[in-house]
């Protein structure tokens, strides 16, 4: 279980997150929805300290528990420990342009975790096969489509064997015909039991894969529940307006 409590984040006088509480069960998929500017991406980035909240806690249970209290100004060691718990998949892929697909996937295990190159190479090939790109291992990012680059990004995030996978609108920068390959990869990860928090506008994916759907607005969680409950019987007026706006078909 991952427990997130009272996350606050401001940029100057602009409050972006105003007290976020969320539980993420091991092996579950949490999908976060909401209008632009609601704080979704900032919240996701706070979970591995790419953005530093002014207060709040993130706690991982399990055999190697970890709790970060941001109000106490965590040390670099604590932040590194938090980041080793999670793998991040970005909107814009963020691959190293001068490294091949294989080298991009190897980077974290070798440079951060200190694993031998031969071991990291073998594991990276397995991950590239998992995301359907075993035959693209020696290609550079510019030789890959956007969807292929994003799947390399997923393999790279998996390479550090994180307890939590974070996806920040992973299909938003893709041409429509490339979206499904990335979503299918994510669905396979969900079936394998990876714990995932996904910021996305892909409502069909949320309905098919999510265990919990969260709706954010104005830096707060306004509603959360199962896809069946939230999409068919939303309780909060802001959720109803948001779902009407994106024309969700729930029947």
Q: Are 220 and 18 in contact (CB under 8 A)?
A: yes
- Give domain status of residue 179, yes or no: no
Q: What CATH number does residue 239 fall under?
A: 3.40.50.300
Count how many domains the chain has.
1
d(CA 179, CA 115): 33
- Give domain status of residue 31, yes or no: yes
At 231, list the tokens. Answer: 């999409």
- Residue 215 burial class via C-beta count within 10 angstroms: exposed 0-12, middle 13-18, buried 19 and up: buried
- Give domain status of residue 247, yes or no: yes
**Residue 203 CB coordination number (10 Å):** 19
- Give domain status of residue 158, yes or no: no
Backbone angles phi, psi at 225, to 5 degrees: 175, -175
Model confidence at 247, pLDDT cuts 50, 70, 90, reads low
pLDDT of residue 251: 43
Per-residue pLDDT reduced to its tens digit, 115-130: 999 999 999 999 999 9
d(CA 185, CA 182): 5
- Give domain status of residue 44, yes or no: yes
Q: Are 203 and 226 in contact (CB under 8 A)?
A: no
d(CA 198, CA 210): 9
- Give domain status of residue 197, yes or no: no
Q: Which three-class secondary structure state does DSSP give residue 68? A: strand
Structural domain range at position 225: 1-85+206-251
- Give domain status of residue 150, yes or no: no
- Give domain status of residue 107, yes or no: no
**Residue 217 CB coordination number (10 Å):** 20
- Residue 154 pLDDT exceeds 90: yes
Mean pLDDT of 133-149: 96
At 75, list the tokens. Answer: 């040390």
pLDDT of residue 250: 38
Per-residue pLDDT reduced to its tens digit, 16-54: 999 999 999 999 999 999 988 899 999 999 999 999 999
């Amino acid at each position: 279980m991952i427990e997130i409590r009272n996350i606050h984040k401001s940029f100057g006088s602009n409050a972006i997150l105003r007290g976020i509480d969320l539980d993420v069960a091991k092996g579950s998929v949490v999908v976060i929805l909401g209008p632009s500017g609601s704080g979704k991406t900032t919240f996701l980035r706070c979970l591995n300290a790419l953005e530093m909240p002014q207060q709040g806690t993130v706690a991982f249970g399990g055999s190697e528990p970890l709790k970060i209290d941001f109000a106490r100004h965590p040390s670099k060691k604590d932040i590194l420990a938090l980041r080793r718990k999670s793998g991040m998949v970005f909107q814009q892929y963020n691959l190293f342009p001068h490294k091949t697909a294989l080298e991009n996937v190897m980077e974290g295990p070798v440079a951060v975790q200190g694993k031998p190159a031969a071991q990291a190479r073998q594991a990276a090939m397995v991950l590239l096969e998992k995301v359907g790109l075993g035959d693209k291992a020696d290609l550079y990012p510019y030789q890959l489509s956007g969807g292929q680059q994003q799947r390399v990004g997923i393999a790279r995030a998996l390479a550090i064997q994180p307890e939590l996978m974070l996806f920040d609108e992973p299909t938003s920068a893709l041409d429509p015909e490339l979206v499904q390959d990335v979503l299918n990869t994510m669905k396979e990860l969900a079936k394998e039991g990876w714990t995932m928090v996904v910021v996305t506008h892909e409502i069909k994916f949320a309905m098919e894969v999510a265990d919990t759907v969260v709706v954010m607005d104005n830096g707060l969680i306004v509603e959360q529940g199962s896809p069946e409950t939230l999409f068919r019987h939303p309780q909060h007026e802001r959720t109803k307006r948001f779902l009407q706006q994106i024309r969700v078909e729930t029947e």
